[in-house]
Structures are given as structure tokens and as C-alpha cells.
Amino acid sequence: MTHTDADAEHAATAAAAAPARPAATGLTSAEVAERVERGEVNDIPVRSSRSAGEIVRANVFTRFNAIIGVLWLVMLAVAPIQDSLFGFVILANTGIGIVQEWRAKKTLDSLAVIGESRPTVRRDGVAVRVGTSELVLGDLIEIGPGDKIVVDGTCAEADGLEVDESLLTGEADPVVKHPGDAVMSGSFVVGGGGAFQATKVGREAYAAQLAEEASRFTLVHSELRSGISTILKYVTWMMVPAAIGLVVTQLIVKENDLKDSVARTVGGIIPMVPEGLVLLTSVAFAIGVIRLGRRQCLVQELPAIEGLARVDTVCLDKTGTLTEGGMDVTEVRALDGADDAYVRRVLGALGEADPRPNASLQAIIDAYPDEADGWRCTEALPFTSARKFSGATFSEGDGVRSTWLLGAPDVLLAADDPALAETERLNEQGLRVLLLARAAGDLSDAEPARGARATALVVLEQRLRPDAADTLGYFAEQDVRAKVISGDNAVSVGAVAAKLGLDARTVDARELPDGRDDMGRELDRATVFGRVTPQQKRDMVGALQSRGHTVAMTGDGVNDVLALKDADIGVAMGSGSEATRAVAQIVLLDNSFATLPSVVAEGRRVIGNITRVATLFLVKTVYSVLLALLVVCWQVEYPFLPRHLTLLSTLTIGVPAFFLALAPNTERARPHFVRRVMRYSIPGGVLAGAATFTTYLIARHHYAGPGALDAETSAATLTLFLTSMWILAIIARPYTWWRIALVAAMGAAFLVVLVVPWLQDFFALKLVGVSMPWTAVAVAAAASAVLELLWRWLDRRSPE
């Protein structure tokens, strides 16, 4: 027996076990209370983020925190408190990381509640909306186009019901459901309507797993995180031999005082650890989630923020994205002498026949609310994106029976029909046109539109979003190409796009080539595409990706789900169907297209700034490893105590990196994160380490007698600080007033340490004489000049 067969059998068994009720009325309040008492409730806890315990564990129990923690305890035992400052800094940073991620968790949890679906159930014969967690076994749940099936059940009513089970089976073709058929949670309705009786709720239903995966605060694969993991792996390989050599040199070869040797050994190991890099990345992501949350933007997968930074093509569905959901009927043009009053009556009857009208039909209902008195619908054919028309058969009274179709003129009519010319002219004005046609046969025919006779054109005007033009302008400025992909008539879509300032060249998707390469070339040439089927939307996303583009897809209807699933980033509107919200990584809860620039900007800010600050952290690691190796080779005392490197790290990396990581950044992220970071950090670290050790060796020859080691350390510290400051100044470009102020403040803070006596004593820093300090400055200046030239040369040679 297959898994599906087993599910169907289990569903039937559960349905039989539940007390039988007439399908039309659903459960009574007493029966609902009884099931709640027995625990037969769909009480799956909403979990949109990691738990508090997981957040603490993820931020505290890391490999490098363990290394630093052990070294901190050692330093507390053998050295003054100022040599243990690095431990307190790590505690503070870890605390900041926990607090920021907790704030992000609270933001996500509150947004997940706002975006939670509320299915319609029948209880006591009345349709009511309840939370997903309030469903009970045996509930009768109504469904229509776009609704997600949230629990497993058995179909009780079906009116042209078509269900997409692609999230479960991978098969995109919709499945027609009849009463008695099993329906599975995780699927969604693409056409028609009906109701089903819940047979599996809670953790027994597949929806429990789907909901958890769809809304989790995930830390899944991303180039940024995998790149940092790769860097940390390299760092570990470098640290181990360098640390062992340093321990041997300081404790055995030099035969120094034990406490001083331990302090200098720890001072050499600590800066090798880029302890703040992972933490700062998590903080940047968390703050990004909080910022987007304030704009009513739900980030369902954390790496989506990073993905947005890499987007170079955004595919927009016209309806609900560039245009508002509502429409207005501006004109009805009767054809072939049809009576206007009769046409209005037909349109009113079609509106009443559909219990779940789409935006076009709702506009007709609003225009002709009371035109169908006395007509009775005997059969209905719901609208689907693939079919592009709906229909109904009416009994008009006195034995008169008629069948009507309403939909796209170019689908219902032959290519040479004269009505299409008028339709084309109206489409060129940006108007949407539906054709009312009288069917020649029955709705149950294989081709119900064959032989249909045109009766009237229904002209609708779409409401443009007031912010759409500005948003598209932003994408153009940021070098992000917009592609309008719509199921509507290509000419009409092109007219709307032209009003918004886009290239009005349009392509009818029915004329697109099938091959991915050929389709990709056409997509690169054109901007607007009409008459796109749901499967074509998916193929178009794949064609763009095959040509190296990073694609974001926006949408709000069930016809967008396949494309949203395959796009690098799926963006759904909060008012869209449950299906689109389930598969999208980003949900715009306020339905504002104008939020997208903020979302893209946030992604660019995160990845662009993390790339900057990663270079700072890795420079420190490289010069620390190099210094340790040089000390081992020369068999001299390590030049620094932990307090010196704590001061340097705080002023040249820690504080600046925090501000730079949260600064605005609109540059589109580029690939090859590890290569780009290492390209700059390795030469920067090597030059800084070599310059520092050069000053240290010169100082060892210059100073002699008691206190010589402190004087040598102070000179080496000055060179390292000045070189690191120049690296910071390069990283901080392009300069703004606050970036200049940041670099200047860090320099001023170090100057204060050098001139205030008690700070000199606290950090064991005192410049002795005149010639050696100026020599240290000269060495730093030479290293900075070489570094400036080298990085400019690397910039010119960069393929990006």
C-alpha cells in the first residue's frame, strides 16, 4: 500500500469514527466542546523562531567561546584583572547577541500571529472564522480558490473543486476532488470551492510539519554563513600550530617567570580568535528582522535577508502588486445587437453564481448587484488561471435555459473574430476587457468554449498602486531589473507598465520558445509578459536563474505559487492566498509594494556590511598568527599582554565594526564572499604583523635595562595601532561625516590612554624617549602606504 493510500484509508477510518453529522450544518457547539475536552484539537504551537533556550545555547556554547573561556579562567588566576578584560568583553558581546536575537524572536512571533490563517468552519449551521489552532476533529471547513488545506480530511462538498498537491507530491497539475475523496493538509485550492470534514488534526496532520518548516527562524545554508564557517575552519588550522609553538617558546625556551609567560602566551592566542565575527553576523541579521518587522514585513527564513542583497532581477505579478486588488466596471459594450438590460441581468446572475468571486467578478457584482432576480444557477464552472474563463448555466424561468461564459476574449474567441480588434484597442489604453459569451454546448463538454457567441465586452479599469512608480524607479536606480509577468492580456499589461515608467515592449507568453536557453534570451530582451500560465511563470524563473540571475518573485494569487517556490526569494502579499504565504520567504503583511525597497535595502545592508567587518576581524587573526610564528622563529618574548590587544581590538575592530555593521549600505552584494574577504585581509594582516614585529626588534636593540620590555611593547603597540587605524580608515570608505567621526574618536581614545597617567599604568603603555616612538610612527606610515597601494592594485584587478 502506498503512503497516499494509507493516508486515505486512515482518513476514511477517522471519518467513520467521528459522529456523523449532516454535511451542511457542521458540528454543534456541544460537540466542539466535547472534542476539546478529549484533546481532539488542532493545537499545534506556533513556532516562528528558536526558543529562548536555543538562543542562549547558540550564542554561549560555541567553539571559540569555549577556548576564550578557558583562557579567561587561566588569566584570572595568574594575572592582574586588566589582562582579563577580554573575557568581560566576550560576556558583554554574547549578552548583546542574546538580547538582539530575543527581540527578533518576539518580533517574528507577533508577526506570525498577524499573518496566521483563519479558516472558515460551519458550526451550528453558521459559517464562522476561527484560528487554525481552534479546529477540532470532525469540523466542516469551507474552502475556495487560494485557501490552504490546513488539516487532513475528506471532501464533503465540491463545486468544480481543484486542488494543487504539488507541495506534497511535486506534481503541479491540479487534482479534481469529488465528495468522498481524501484531501491532504499542505495542498491548496486553485479552482472551484467546497467543504471537507477534518479527519486528522494536531500533530497527526501533515500541516503540522509544513507550518513549522514554513515559519521557522531558520539558520539554513547561505553563502554568508557557509563562508564564515569556512573562514573559521582555516583559522582553526592556523591557530593550533601557532599556539603550540608560542606555548613552547614562552614557557620553555625563554625560561621566563611563569605568570608573565602565561600572560604573554594567552596574549598571543586570544587575538587569533575572530570571536566577534559570528556574533556580529547574528546581531546584524537579528536587527534586520526587527527593522523589517516594524515595517510589517514577516521574514519566514533568516537567510532571506541575505538573499535579498543578491537579487538582480525582480519578477512582478501585475495584479495585486503593481495594481490594487479592486477594479471598477467602466463600460459594458453589447455586441451584435444584444439588449443592454439583458446583458446586465446575465452579468448579475454570473456574479451571484460564484460564492468566491475574484477581483474582476467582484467589480461586476458591485456594478450590477440586483439584476438576477428569478434566475437559478443549475451548473457552474469556476475560474482557474489555466482555463482563464468561468461559466454558469441558468434556468431563467418558463423553461428557458442558457449557458454563459465570462473570461479572456482571446481565449474564448477565434483569432479572426472582429470583437478582438476592439478588445485590442481597449487593452492598449491599459484597460482590462472580459468577454461575455453564450456557450453553444454544456459546461460539461470537453471544450465548453467551442462555438461560443460573443455577446458583450465588459471593460474594467484597474487601480494602480500610488507607490508603484516610485518603487520601480528605486529598482532601476539600484540596478535591479524589473520583469512584469502576468496572466492578463499582454497589450493591457504593457499599457499599465508604460504608465509606471517601464519599457512598454510586451511579449505574449504563448509565443515564447519552450527551450530554457531561448526563453532566457527573450526574457533578457523584454520587460513585460502577458498571458503567462502558472507553469510558464515557473519556467521563466528557471530560465532567468540559468542565465546567472538571482531572482525575486512577488505575487499574491495561487497562480504565483509555483514561481514563488522556485525563485531565490519569494515575496507574498499579506492579503494574498494562504498558499502563497506558505511558500514565500518574505510576507508583506501590510500589502504595500512600497515596502520592497526597504526589504532589499536591509538585505544589502546586512551582507555588504558583514563583508566589510569580516575583513577587519580577519586582519587581526592574520597578524596575530604571523606575530606568533615570528616570535617562535626569533625565540623572543611575545610583545603583548592580553590588555594591550584588548585595547587595540576594541578601538580598531570591536566598536567600529558594530557601527559599520549597522550602517546604511545600498551596494548590491557580490558572490565569492570568502575569496573577497581573504583577498584584502591576508595582505593587510601580513603588513600589519610584519611592521609591528619590525618595530619590536628595533626597540629590543634600542632599549636596555629594567623596564625595557614594557618600552618595547609600547613601541610595538603604537605601530600596530596606527597600521590598524589605517586599515579601518580604508574599510570605512566611502567617507561620511559619521564615519570620519568614528575613526577620529577611536584615534582620540588611544591618545587619551597614552597621556593619562593612570590609564598608562592600567594598560602598561608608556612611550619612552623620542626617537623610538617616532621610529614606530615611521614604520607604521611606511606599512600604511604600501597597504594603500596594494589594496588599490587589488581593486583594479578585481573581476567584480
Distances (CA, A) of 407 to 248, 384, 488, 493: 83, 10, 11, 16
* Grid cell locating 553: 518573485
Cβ atoms of residues 543 and 300 within 8 Å: no
CA gyration radius, the chain: 34
| pLDDT score at 171 | 57
pLDDT single digits (tens) 208-259: 554 444 444 444 346 777 787 787 777 778 777 877 887 777 767 655 667 7
Task: Please name each of the domains of the chain with its CATH number.
Answer: 218-289+601-797 (1.20.1110.10), 298-322+465-595 (3.40.50.1000), 329-407+420-456 (3.40.1110.10)
The full length of the chain comes to 800
Burial 333-347 (b: 16+ CB within 10 A, else e): bbbeebeeeebbbbb
pTM, 2 dp: 0.65
Strand partners of residue 401: 395
Query: β-strands 506-508, 528-530: how paired?
Result: parallel
* C-alpha pair distances (Å), 382 with each of 98, 273, 537, 556: 51, 63, 22, 19
Q: What are phi and psi of 192, to 5 degrees?
A: 75, -160
Q: Which residues of the chain have pLDDT under 50?
A: 1-22, 47, 210-221
For residue 503, count CB atoms less than 10 angstroms from its CB and return exposed for 0-12, middle for 13-18, buried for 19 or more. Answer: middle
Which of 83, 317, 354, 410 is labelled catalytic? 317
CB-based contact 377:352 (threshold 8 Å)? yes
Cα–Cα dist 417/439, whole Å: 16
Strands 551-555 and 569-573: parallel
Torsion of CA 604, 610, 611, 614, to 10 degrees: 180
Distances (CA, A) of 694 to 627, 639, 701, 780: 10, 11, 11, 10
Instruction: Cite the beta strand spans of 130-185 per DSSP E.
Output: 140-143, 152-164, 175-176, 182-183
Reported for 747-750, long-range contacts at CB under 8 A and 24+ positions apart, including other chains, are: 749/651, 750/647, 750/651, 750/721
Judge contact between 767 and 713, C-beta under 8 A: no
Whole-number pLDDT of residue 22? 42
Rounded CA-CA distance 651/653 in Å is 6
Q: What is the DSSP string of 561-583?
A: HHHHHHSSEEEEETTS-HHHHHH
Contact 60, 95 (CB under 8 A): no
| Cα 201 to Cα 151: distance, rounded to the nearest angstrom | 6
For cell 543578491, what's the residue? 310
In sequence order, the β-bridge partners of residue 485 are 529
Does 398 participate in catalysis according to the annotation?
no
Provide the β-strand partners of residue 394.
377, 402
**What letters, b where the CB count within 10 A reaches 16 and e where it falls short, cover 287-315?**
bbbbbbbeebbbbbbbbbbbbbbbbbbbb
pLDDT of residue 290: 80
Predicted confidence at residue 219, as pLDDT, reads 40
